[in-house]
Chains A and B, each alone.
Chain A
Amino acid sequence: MSDTSTEYDSDIEAAIRANHPALITYITAGDPSLEDTEAYVEALDRGGSDLIELGLPFSEPIAEGQTIQAAINRALAAGTTPEGFFELVEDLEIEAPLLVMTYYNMILQYGGSEAPRASEEASGQRPRAKPDVRPFVERAAEAGLSGIIVPDLPAEEADPLRDACDDNGLDLIFIIAPTTEGERLDAIMSRVSGFAYVQARLGTTGARANVSGATHDSLARLSKYDVPKAVGFGVSEGDHAAEIIEAGADGVIVGSALIDIIASSDDPSDAVDALEAKAAELKRGARRGAETLTDDPEDTPEPEQP
């Protein structure tokens, strides 16, 4: 972790600091197909995303609201596999660093043998290896990913994954919830690399119509830690982005609002332009929030794009 220098070991921290205020976008890989995802990610990159989170779908997404849950179901129905996911990552031509967001079981099982059939088990064939996080992390690093975020892996259970990430130069991002306080907060913040993912409100992911008061409280609690903070869960509009940056965040994270665009497009290719435009709107909103901070506290008109 760095203090005042502008060189960072972490691609992710560097990207957030260099592009402050940062826009972080999320979509689910394979929704509705991996080819479409490739075009979408490139559109989000063009639109001004400073970091892109790609979801590797898992069948039991307990931290997700209906929008992302449905995207995950579409991706699984389209046959999205971990290997297909990594190949997509290798094919992408973008500037923003990439982060994979997935559930812990997907990481544990990667590279394991297929589930043994009962008949094979009985005859002792193909014993399945114990789950191990390393094959996934090594493949992620090789494919060019910069970090991992696992919504069902609290810091207490994360040592094996953190060690593997450290050994492979990947950031492991932790979520800070509105309920995270006191010693737990210290313990988690001491392990964060890249940025702290600040959960804007209790509950699951999903676009909301306003910014929660919990966001302001969380950012105030976190102000003493010198780690970039990005706020997600419910952000859907440029105005939210402005408000969140104004409240002291270094970045905003937007997922469900982008997936709404994908889900409501009649033809998958229609979504490309809309995604680029939405990213640009969010990035403008974030900039507006930053300018309000540095300029006078009066309302400032929307700045022109550079």
Chain B
Amino acid sequence: MSTERERDDEYESGGGTFGDYGGQYVPEALMPALQELEDAYERYVLENEDGFMDEFRERMRDFGGRPTPLQRADRLSERYDREIYLKREDLLHGGAHKLNNALGQVLLAKYMGKERIIAETGAGQHGTATAMAAAHLDMPCEIYMGRTDVNRQRPNVYRMRMNGAEVNPVEAGSATLKEAINETMRDWATTVERTHYVIGSVVGPHPFPQMVRDFQAVIGEEIRDQIQAKAGRLPDSVVACAGGGSNTMGTFHAFVPDEGVDLYAVEAGGSSLEIDEEEGMAPNSATLSTGTDGVLHGAMTKLLQAGDGQIVESHSVSAGLDYAGVGPELSHLVDIGRVTPANVDDDDALNGFHRLSRLEGIIPALESSHALGYLEEEYETLGDLVVVNVSGRGDKDLETVLEETEKRDLEAAPEIEVFDG
């Protein structure tokens, strides 16, 4: 994993900043815990003390199912008249890339002697992965999830409960990921001495953005080896969806030094890119494309905010992308032009969902469907050899997809009425 590659990327200074972004903006009570975590991260993850990374890799293989395949998508390749490869993170245990990070952090918490795991979740994929990892490693676990997300991602709520986790619905605000993070931080500030907070993406205070990226970097490292074995060269472009950015950073990290590989971070364009300041909401989650610099959830990064500094509520048809912030490293990579931000609206994401299901027999997560929507729109600019990361599988989204498809006239959708009865 990334410990084996060059770590002294010039943009990554000590102290957890990436250019202007990152840092540790948290209540004082949490500062010693961040220091403790930073020490543990350096010792166990970066230096493999006590064989931590060996154990992590072995568990990712035997429990998690790594490596995941890099599959040539025959019908997409035909449709777009170029080589399209899919990285199949949907085949990882739990059905999404989230397990890479969750298992890494729960194992680290165990090495640190913590007694209790808490986490927030949006789509429920991170909560599910954390609940699975906690059950696997025998740790008690509580998950905070916005009420809106509890309602739209029920299969994952059941899965968390099956694995023995407690799920605490959060009612505040628009009751999505942002509110779940606030509530988990409050729990952590109360119980910090014995509890580890497993943050679900490359967001939050240092060392989370860097550590989560390192646990996820296995995605890009596998793609690099696999594409060279299959196509004999590096891809022209790599496309991945971005919510908080863990899937994007995990997929891109190994390619950052390869200037010839274009990197596209696809966000949720929702229904519009405008911000409604009166209502305090953005009908999108396109932080990299439209956000401005500020501090949220422990880090300086790009945010969806009103002019006076209030954070606005984001929206996306896909719960996992529905977040007003994004990881600081990704913000920096966009600023320096290494990563191209892009966005796809709800309709095109739903079309992407249906198209992949019909053409390739893979039902993708609505999050990943944004990357597939982007492929459809922009394939001509992506070169001859393209990798798209399928970050997760879409079983959790079926109810939402049926409901949202019925409301719209989507060219790639099957006849929805036949599902009645």
Which residues of A line the B interface, CB within 8 A?
58-63, 65, 69, 73, 76, 81-82, 103-110, 112-119, 121, 128, 130-131, 151-157, 174-181, 184, 188, 199, 202-204
Q: Is the CB of B309 within 8 A of A105?
A: yes
Whether A62 contacts B185 in the complex (CB less than 8 A), given A110-B309, A184-B32, comes out as: yes
Stretch at the interface among B18-26, B125-133, B213-221, B314-322: B18-26
Using known A-B contacts A117-B274, A178-B29, A199-B29, determine if residue A157 contacts B308 with beta carbons closer than 8 Å.
no
How many Å lie between the Cα of A109 and that of B311 in the bound state? 11
In the complex the two chains form, is B189's CB within 8 Å of A156's CB? no
Find out whether the CB atom of B29 lies under 8 angstroms from the CB atom of A105. Answer: no
Q: Smallest CB–CB gap between A167 and chain B, Å?
A: 22
Best-buried of B33, B173, B292, B297 by chain A (most CB within 10 Å): B292
The 5 closest A-B pairs by CB, nearest first: A109-B309, A114-B307, A203-B190, A177-B29, A118-B273
Say yes or no: B309 contacts A156, CB within 8 Å: no
CB–CB B31/A114 < 8 A: no
Residues of B within 8 Å of A65, CB to CB, are: 186
Contact for B309 among A58, A63, A157, A177, CB less than 8 A: A58
B294 interface neighbour in A62, A76, A105, A157, Cβ under 8 Å = A105
A188 to B29, CA, bound (A): 13
- What are 29 inter-chain pairs, A to B, with CB distance below 8 A? A59-B311, A60-B311, A62-B26, A62-B27, A69-B172, A104-B295, A106-B309, A109-B294, A109-B308, A109-B309, A113-B307, A119-B274, A128-B292, A131-B293, A151-B27, A152-B295, A154-B25, A154-B27, A175-B29, A177-B27, A178-B29, A179-B29, A179-B31, A179-B32, A180-B28, A180-B29, A202-B191, A203-B190, A204-B190
The CA of A73 and the CA of B274, in the complex, are separated in Å by 23
Q: Are the CB atoms of B25 and A153 closer together than 8 Å?
A: yes
Residues in B whose Cβ lies below 8 Å from that of A181: 32
Q: What 18 new A-B contacts, CB under 8 Å, besides A117-B290, A203-B186?
A: A59-B280, A60-B178, A105-B303, A108-B293, A109-B294, A109-B307, A110-B309, A112-B309, A116-B292, A117-B275, A128-B292, A152-B26, A174-B28, A179-B33, A179-B192, A181-B32, A202-B192, A203-B189
User: Which residues on B sit within 8 Å (CB–CB) of A177?
Assistant: 27-29, 31
- Which residues in A have their C-beta under 8 angstroms from that of B186? 62, 65, 203-204
A154 with B33, Cβ < 8 A, contacts A60-B178, A203-B186 known:
no
Interface residues of B in 266-322 (CB under 8 A from A): 273-275, 277, 280, 286, 289-290, 292-298, 303, 305-311
